[in-house]
């Protein structure tokens, strides 16, 4: 499998790399595993071919739901795009996909052709979510592990992601089947961003997410503390309505970087509900300034 030469972020270079034309001797997709069927070998090659065209794969994790993980994933992806990167956003939150709503893509269905699915375009991002395939928003997905793994594999292997600088993957809360499948299928993940809220009950779960990353050898890019205080829209005073600093303390304790904290801003919730990334539509919010600082660290990965 051919390794892409590192280019400055935003450099658009159409790739024609395929496993057949590749000369990378160390690629695991070059040789068939013992006992592997033709179909499994072909699938593995196709997956590798797609992944080779994506320079950086970043998973966004959280210990608990409702801490703003999808909000961070969406706005991180949009910010990277605004900085000139080619970005994909993959929602593997199979039981509660919120990316279609947050990206203003509800009731849209991706098209397919010859075994490929075409991601939807929003804010210049390539977006894919299981939510696009649910017949009704109230539909509950009741799947066990292997079925989830199959769906995630399809999203990585059969979606026409093209050449990307970043693929941001929004994973459901916890350390279950979905983040495990993503990390195993991708193999070499660039890193994980872990989102938490400041209270102790949420922050202690960050430890589990960090341990999960360590066991899977996924580098922790850092911890983001969301809903860290409330900025009054009238006077700009920051009130720590939830106990703050929990995320910071745990990051220090566990020896991983702390990326920063984002305050509560009612504009964020409105933007999410209306399918507008707040980083674009609430440019004057203190939360946007904080997120921009956080993103600088991640964007630097693309420019390294």
Least separation, in Å, of the C-beta of 188 and ligand ADP?
Answer: 25
CA–CA separation, 139 vs 30, rounded Å? Answer: 41
CA–CA separation, 11 vs 14, rounded Å? Answer: 10
Q: Report which of 170, 190, 12, 188 is spatially closest to residue 89, judged by C-alpha positions.
A: 170
Least separation, in Å, of the C-beta of 52 and ligand ADP?
Answer: 29
Task: Report which secondary-structure segment, H or E, holds 229.
Answer: strand 220-231
Least separation, in Å, of the C-beta of 83 and ligand ADP?
Answer: 21
- The residue among 70 and 129 lying less far from ligand ADP, judged by its C-beta, is 70
Question: CA torsion, points 274, 277, 279, 284, in degrees to nearest 10?
Answer: -10
Least separation, in Å, of the C-beta of 120 and ligand ADP?
Answer: 19
- The residue among 71 and 175 lying less far from ligand ADP, judged by its C-beta, is 71
Cα 217–chain centre separation: 17
**Which 69-108 positions form the footprint of ligand ADP (CB under 6 A)?**
69-71, 98
CA–CA separation, 30 vs 20, rounded Å? Answer: 9
The single residue among 127, 194, 227, 298 that binds ligand ADP, judged by CB under 6 A, is 227
Residue 68 touches ligand ADP, criterion: CB under 6 A: yes
Residue 287 touches ligand ADP, criterion: CB under 6 A: yes
- The residue among 68 and 302 lying less far from ligand ADP, judged by its C-beta, is 68
- The residue among 55 and 69 lying less far from ligand ADP, judged by its C-beta, is 69
Residue 65 touches ligand ADP, criterion: CB under 6 A: yes
Is the separation of the CB atoms in 124 and 10 below 8 Å? no
The single residue among 75, 85, 226, 261 that binds ligand ADP, judged by CB under 6 A, is 226
Least separation, in Å, of the C-beta of 192 and ligand ADP?
Answer: 14
**Three-state secondary structure string covering 131-150:** HHHCCCCCCCCCCCHHHHHH
**Three-state secondary structure string covering 147-174:** HHHHHHHHHHHCECCCCEEEEEEECCCC
Each residue 256-285 as x (binds ligand ADP by CB under 6 A) or -, in order, gives: ------x-xx--xx--x-------------
Token digits of residue 238: 């920051």
Number of residues that bind ligand ADP (CB under 6 A): 18
Chain residues in the site for ligand ADP (CB under 6 A):
62, 65-71, 98, 226-227, 262, 264-265, 268-269, 272, 287
């Amino acid at each position: 499998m051919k390794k892409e030469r590192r280019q400055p972020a935003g450099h658009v270079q159409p790739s024609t790399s395929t496993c057949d034309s590749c000369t990378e001797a160390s690629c695991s997709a070059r040789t068939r595993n013992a006992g592997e069927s033709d179909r499994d070998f072909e699938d593995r090659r196709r997956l590798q071919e797609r992944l080779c065209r994506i320079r950086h794969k970043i998973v966004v994790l959280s210990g608990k739901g409702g801490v703003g993980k999808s909000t961070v994933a969406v706005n991180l992806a949009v910010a990277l795009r605004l900085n000139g990167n080619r970005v994909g956003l993959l929602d593997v939150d199979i039981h509660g996909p919120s990316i279609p709503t947050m990206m203003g893509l509800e009731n849209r269905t991706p098209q397919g052709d010859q075994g490929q699915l075409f991601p939807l375009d929003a804010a210049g991002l390539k977006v894919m979510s299981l939510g696009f395939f649910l017949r009704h928003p109230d539909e509950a997905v009741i799947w066990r592990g292997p079925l989830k793994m199959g769906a995630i594999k399809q999203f990585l292997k059969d979606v026409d992601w093209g050449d990307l600088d970043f693929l941001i993957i929004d994973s459901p809360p916890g350390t279950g089947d979905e983040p495990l499948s993503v990390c195993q299928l991708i193999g070499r993940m660039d890193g994980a961003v872990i989102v938490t809220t400041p209270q102790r009950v949420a922050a202690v779960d960050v430890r589990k997410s960090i341990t999960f990353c360590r066991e899977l050898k996924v580098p922790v890019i850092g911890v983001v503390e969301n809903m860290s205080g409330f900025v009054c829209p009238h006077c700009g005073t920051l009130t720590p309505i939830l106990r703050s600093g929990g995320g910071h303390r745990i990051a220090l304790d566990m020896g991983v970087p702390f990326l920063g904290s984002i305050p509560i801003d009612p504009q964020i919730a409105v933007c999410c509900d209306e399918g507008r990334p707040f980083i674009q539509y609430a440019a004057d919010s203190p939360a946007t300034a904080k997120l921009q600082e956080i993103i600088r660290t991640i964007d630097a990965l693309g420019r390294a």
